[in-house]
Amino acid sequence: MGRLDDKAAVITGGASGMGAATVRRFVAEGAQVVICDLNEDAGAALADSLGDAAVFVKTDVTKEDDVAAAIAVAHDRWGRLDCMFNNAGFGGALGPIDETTEDDFDITFDVLLKGVFFGIKHAAPIMKAQRSGSIISTASVAGLQAGWSPHLYATAKAAVIQLTRSTALELGEYRVRVNCICPGVIATPLAIGRDQSDEAIAAFKASTASLQPIGRVGEPEDIANAALWLASDESTFVTGQAQVVDGGVNAGRPWSRVADWIKEPNPIRVYRPPGR
């Protein structure tokens, strides 16, 4: 028996990367999924490969009507909505703060924050009526620590985390759970860049492996596994949480990169609190 048998889900940004991995994992576990993305070719191809369990709906998450329509497809087609995964995203505005334009600001927040807001807003009435459901959004370790991303990306992801906590408090009384996932460095097309050759992917993984204490870069399937747990009945007592999936990045630097004087067992260098 699948962990998501008889459940219906909507996944934005579902045509590639973490979204596509989650679509495949959800279907493998018994769910029916609406795949939302602007990439029609990739989204339709993925849906076709999954048969009757998936349908593709072209969706611009910056447009409220698009998000509402995608959610309506799931509800009309399967009679329910058990999981809303607000996953669509991009890198957003780059560069110094004094070179960031108003248009840069608007498009970054439209995709990364407004799109999440629309997903929560339009999933909520269906799930409240069911008195069940799981809303998941993709945040980032960049929303927890500065210095890992461009300014606006980090700020938008921090806002996603706070929106998650705030709406979890409202929807909890309806048994609707709201959580977010904070990925670290994940080997996705967004992170790797334009060159998607095997050589470029291998080089990216090799160059970023040492950033994580666990010693490898994250894979889209790592995020899919976290989303699966949050969507399943195994996490029905979990809400308002920012689930970090980052190989240990948020905990700190790998021990091998810590200064030698910290690691050496020299009694002279042991810290003693005042008065001890």
Is 140 annotated as catalytic? yes
CB 97 within 8 A of CB 28: no
CA angle 146, 16, 116 (to 5 degrees): 50
CB 127 within 8 A of CB 176: yes
Q: Which residues pair with 24 in a beta bridge?
A: none
Is 271 annotated as catalytic? no
Helix (H) or strand (E) holding 84: strand 83-86
Residue 187 corresponds to which tokens in the numbers above?
A: 């080997």
Distance from C-alpha of 112 to C-alpha of 156, rounded to nearest angstrom: 6
CA angle 191, 194, 197 (to 5 degrees): 95
Beta carbons within 8 Å of 67's beta carbon, 6+ residues apart: 12, 36, 59, 61, 115, 118, 119, 122
Helix (H) or strand (E) holding 121: helix 115-130
Q: Which of 140, 149, 232, 235 is catalytic?
A: 140
Q: Which of 7, 16, 134, 153 is catalytic?
A: 153
Read off φ and ψ for residue 102, nearest 5 degrees: -65, -40
Q: How many CA atoms lie within 13 A of 63 on its CB side?
A: 10
Is 157 annotated as catalytic? yes
Q: Which of 114, 157, 232, 235 is catalytic?
A: 157
Residues annotated catalytic, as ranges = 140, 153, 157
